[in-house]
A and B are shown apart, each in its own frame.
Chain A
Amino acid sequence: MTYLAKPKLHHPDLPKNALGLTRRDYEGTISTLCAGCGHDSISAAIIQACWELAVQPHRVAKLSGIGCSSKTPTYFLDKSHGFNSVHGRMPSVLTGANLANRDLLYLGVSGDGDSASIGLGQFAHSMRRGVNMTYIVENNGVYGLTKGQFSATADRGSKSKRGAVNTDEGIDLACLAMQLGATYVARSFSGDKHQLVPLIKGALTHPGAAFIDVVSPCVAFNNHEGSTRSYDYVRHHNEAVNSLDVITMHKEITTEYAPGSVQEVRQHDGSVLRLRKLADDYDSSNRISAMSYVQSHYARGEIVTGLLFVEPEAIDLHEHLGTTMRPLNELGDKELCPGSAALAQFNASLR
């Protein structure tokens, strides 16, 4: 339905952010996904998060692979350049784009088929490299566009709409991301905007590989009895370990919490992640205990959500490679071409 233009008029009193932009300035075209699709809620959360952070829309590059989730970048941030790449290969395209210009914000949007099935390798290696990005998987456990086949994140024992039982083990991308060295790992639910928006803000301000697994029910093919990705199932099994508040460097910290109940994490850019604990025994600064917690709760049928792990002193790929602070795409002949004198010396060394 992209041919339906959104009305350009909007209410004059819509709130404006620090850039003087309204939420409408962060929207895209009308979604063509099914009514009630979790992915649309995630697009809305992305819009909200970018608006709240007062991100300049054109300084975001949004990239995706193939599938329902990968269509969504059209539905937000229409001032941004978008790239709908090939199935499962968004991470490499994003990595290359990031290498070319380290000054933009990189938002990768993918699905469970795109990232856990065909694209598991690229997902894994982009985490290992520490690409500075926000990588969101809109996880519904099913192939929507091809009508209901299981994806690699579907839980063993869960039932398809046609009644088939999944016999393969499900992949937990959040746990994998933690194991592979991502420095910001979260899980949320498309139906919980209050939890999701701050997690996206935290990821966007995080200076390294940030990954968010968002459980996002598929109303057409995976919202039935027996599914572990339905709205009902997720609501009943969601166990949030913390709630996050992201305070950008410009904002004054005003809210007060009882001592010990709040953990503050200061990131490179000066932003502060303020974490309010919901589970006493959860420590989001410890990669190993976090993985153990998430997996032991999974064994009990619970879906742990919240900011699962954060490493504030993240080092990204550019730091590993020692690249110049100037975007590589701004360098010209002068910086790049050694010239004929250097070539003459090279020739001389070969005789």
Chain B
Amino acid sequence: MKTLQATNDFVIKFANVNGSGSASANTLFAKSIARMGVPVSPRNIFPSNIQGLPTWYEVRVCEAGWNARRGGADLMVAMNPQTWEKDVAEVTAGGYLFYDSTRPMPSGKFRDDILVIGMPLTEICNATYTDPRQRQLFKNIIYVGALSALLGIELAEVEKLIAEQYKGKEKLLEPNVKALRMGHEYALAKLPCPLGLQVRRADKVGDKVFLEGNNAAALGAVFGGATVCAWYPITPSSSMAEAFAKHCRKYRVDKETGKNNFAIVQAEDELASIGMVIGAAWNGARAFTCTSGPGISLMSEFIGLAYFAEIPATLVNVQRAGPSTGMPTRTQQSDVLLCAYASHGDTKHPILFPQDAKEAFEFTADALDIADRLQTPVFVLTDLDIGMNERLCDPLTWDDARTYDRGKVLTKEQLDAGARFGRYLDVDDDGITYRTYPGTHPSRGSFFTRGTSRDRYARYTEEGSAYVDNMERLLRKFETAKHYMPKPEVRPGAKPSRYGAIYYGSTAPAMEEALALFEAEGIHLDALRVRAFPFQDTVIDFVNDHDHVFVIEQNRDGQLRTLLVAEGAIDPSRLGSVLHFDGTPITARFIHGDIAKRLSALQVTPLRRTVAGGASGE
């Protein structure tokens, strides 16, 4: 049998039972590879459950630095009997299976085209530990030790990470290191070390940081000046609110008084969350909520109010697979249309599409500025893949010269100086009007905020012309929004092409890798990453400049394509959809395969069959 041979380019997948403490051991494993200067991208594939159901942790080791999911598994660490058959079946031919051999398995449970490595983990643990919880937890550390021997991971790096993790808790440090070494030594003595899959020290990580999107977005909210957060728990966004609380405790407690320069309320539901955000922002505080698709559905009425009454609000939607409860722990980009047009009546909302944790940080801070500037709800659309997985990205940066853009707010002094105030009076001809905060002035600047139609001076009216005047101004404001939103990123092919590709959000890593695959084959594609809605002219021009444009998305219905057709007046036949929506993150293999097929159908020179990256047989 030929076994896979690969250095710094393979996928290892851990099959665990959730609630067994495997997550921290698996993270330790992934981080130790990054510490060796080898880029690594881990992904959690977890159930909507607390204990007892299957969970997977997939680690792509990739010196080339591709962060997307690759697909397949070259080494399976099969620790969950419930999913044994599926896990064994998933291993690439010539790959490896690592399992707990304490109980003998019938030979029919294996495959003869993979190398099976058994280690009696339970037996070792039972012999070493008496406490059942310790047996469980140290089993995970022991397999990390064994894998480090099998894969050539430097033990010193793993030990350094454990030392950092248990700094100040030396009691826990020693037994963890002991368990790690026990596994390592066992493997060196009894297992076929080294495997064909090897990690070799490199220098491809640089100063990159290992960061989760939700954590990054939460920090963006802190840096962006949010003082009020109202939220309701929902996967996969809850960890953002929790991270915001953690960051606030660190950065936002007044040193002299010990009082908090923030307020966080876990509301009774999403309706109340957005209501509080709107109330706070109406009253001049920066406020946000974080949620997922079902939450946006519930918030829709309020979003319409904030649109029509023109109140800033920042909403971070960490998307998951819908509709309804859908697959709550799987990723998708299926709330694009929901967010773009949320609420009844004619509404449109600005959306920012971060591609990773770094942009989740930046765009969340930006969104707070944009919401104040435009006085309207602004969405930051991430997803589970970005939000809940640690990913290597460039270090976060902040310009200390930056000041918050609080938008058009009249102060007491301006009102005293005789500033003409009409809450909905467009004096600058950009569709954005001036507002006042409650309590500003004893006799000037008060107005009534309402979701009903009103004139330029905020007086209730059902006069058709006043209504139309207002609705058209809101369109002008939406046009103005384009200037404040992040610009699209154009990636021209090496040579001019008639074909283009549009992508956004968490599709970016897979798309970049797919583009490299095409380039390597001499097929040139121009690409554009949409970073915001409303679309700037660059986006529409890009479509018009190509014969055919593929829109790559992680949803069933091609929602961004629909939005392009509707908002850019584009002939739909010129936009093809490349859609991946099974809840797993999209891969370069998928994009490459699908576009190659469509290019053939469009009668381009047929493509050579290619092997898409990764381990190859020997």
Contacts and interface: CB of A to CB of B under 8 A. Distances in A.
Interface stretch (B137-145, B260-268, B425-433): B260-268
A338 B361 CA distance: 14
B265 A129 contact: yes
A324 B285 CA distance: 14
Interface in A97-131: 97-101, 103-104, 121-122, 124-125, 129
A343 B283 contact: no
A351 B283 contact: no
Interface string A77-108: 01111111110010111111111110110000
B268 A125 contact: yes
A7 B285 CA distance: 37
B251 interface: yes
A322 B259 contact: yes
Interface string B272-302: 1111111111111101000000000000011
Interface residues of A, number: 62
A84 B451 contact: yes
Interface string A311-351: 00000011001111100110111011111101110110011
A72 B498 CA distance: 63
Contacts of A58: 438-443, 446
Nearest to B210: A350
Instruction: Indicate the size class of the contact surface on chain B.
Output: 35 or more
Contacts of A261: none
Nearest to A124: B268
B251 A93 contact: no
Contact of A125 (B258, B267, B448): B267
B230 interface: yes
B369 to A, nearest CB: 11
Nearest to A58: B442
Contacts of B589: none
Given A56-B442, A351-B207, A74 B448 contact: yes
B618 interface: no
B465 interface: no
A114 to B, nearest CB: 13
A85 B534 CA distance: 27
A63 B76 CA distance: 59
B27 interface: no
B276 A99 contact: yes
> Which of A78, A125, A324 gathers the greatest number of chain B CB atoms within 10 Å?
A324
A289 interface: no
Nearest to A332: B404
Nearest to A28: B448
A318 B228 CA distance: 12
A61 interface: yes
Interface stretch (B184-192, B394-402, B573-581): B394-402
A95 B254 CA distance: 23
Nearest to B209: A350
B274 to A, nearest CB: 8
A100 B228 contact: yes
Nearest to B164: A349
Given A80-B446, A84-B448, A96 B280 contact: yes
B450 A84 contact: yes
Contacts of B260: 321-324
B213 to A, nearest CB: 13
Nearest to B208: A351
B46 interface: no
B449 interface: yes
Nearest to B452: A84
Contacts of B267: 92, 125
B227 A336 contact: yes
Contacts of B265: 95, 99, 129, 317, 321
A321 B284 CA distance: 19
A57 interface: yes
Contacts of A84: 448-452
Nearest to B442: A58
B262 A323 contact: yes
Contact of B442 (A57, A331, A351): A57
A324 B438 contact: no
Interface in B429-485: 436-443, 446-452, 459-460
B197 interface: no
16 contacts: A58-B439, A58-B446, A81-B447, A83-B282, A86-B275, A86-B451, A96-B282, A99-B228, A121-B269, A122-B275, A323-B262, A324-B260, A325-B259, A331-B261, A333-B403, A335-B261
In the A-B complex, the 9 residue pairs with the closest CB atoms = A96-B279, A92-B275, A96-B276, A100-B285, A329-B284, A81-B438, A100-B283, A93-B279, A96-B280
Interface of A: 2, 56-59, 61, 63, 73-74, 78-86, 89, 91-101, 103-104, 121-122, 124-125, 129, 317-318, 321-325, 328-329, 331-333, 335-340, 342-344, 346-347, 350-351
